[in-house]
């Protein structure tokens, strides 16, 4: 199946090849699927993961805790992508301020192929994130700086 990425009023949507039946995947749906994939990924690792969508100012999407060691946790920013894309990741400039001491537990999980039944989940560790940040109006972590550090 061939997919095309389109923009509609600055919102990306996904459509199948025009010759086939049309399917739309809006940004909120991409985000929802990516978060679900991360929660499944964490569960397979033996961790308990919680969607943080109801805790709007926390600075991350998923909180995950090691079931064997409650002091071991991750604050996870989820970045969902349509297809196998790994482009620049944008983070808010007040992130370090919001996270405080949790900054050492801040991971970015990149979820590619969210439009499929088998999305690919990889993560970037905090040392890499904060070592490679380029500051503009928001933090930017370029794919060339994190690609070789993605882990399964």
The string of pLDDT tens digits covering residues 36-56 is: 999 999 999 999 999 998 887
Q: Please, what is the Cα angle at 110 between 61 and 140, to 5 degrees?
A: 85
Secondary structure tally for the chain: helices H, strands E = 4, 10
CB 96 within 8 A of CB 86: no
The domain 27-149: what is its CATH number? 3.40.1350.10
Q: Is the Cβ–Cβ distance between 11 and 26 less than 8 Å? A: yes
Q: Report the distance separating Cα 123 and Cα 6, nearest Å.
A: 27
Domain assignments of the chain as residue spans, ordered by start: 27-149
Reported pTM: 0.73
Question: What whole-number percentage of the chain has pLDDT above 70?
Answer: 80
Q: What is the Cα Rg of the chain in Å?
A: 16
């Amino acid at each position: 199946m061939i997919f095309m990425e389109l923009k509609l009023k600055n919102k990306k949507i996904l459509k199948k090849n025009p010759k086939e039946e049309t399917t739309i995947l809006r940004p909120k749906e991409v985000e929802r699927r990516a978060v679900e994939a991360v929660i499944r990924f964490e569960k397979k690792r033996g961790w308990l993961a919680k969607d943080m969508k109801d805790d709007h100012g926390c600075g991350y999407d998923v909180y995950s805790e090691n079931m064997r060691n409650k002091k071991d946790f991750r604050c996870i920013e989820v970045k969902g992508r349509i297809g196998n894309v790994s482009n620049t990741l944008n983070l808010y400039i007040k992130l370090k301020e919001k996270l405080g001491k949790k900054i050492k537990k801040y991971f970015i999980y990149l979820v590619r192929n969210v439009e499929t039944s088998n999305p690919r989940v990889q993560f970037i560790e905090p040392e890499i994130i904060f070592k490679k940040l380029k500051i503009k109006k928001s933090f930017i972590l370029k794919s060339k700086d994190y690609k070789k550090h993605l882990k399964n």
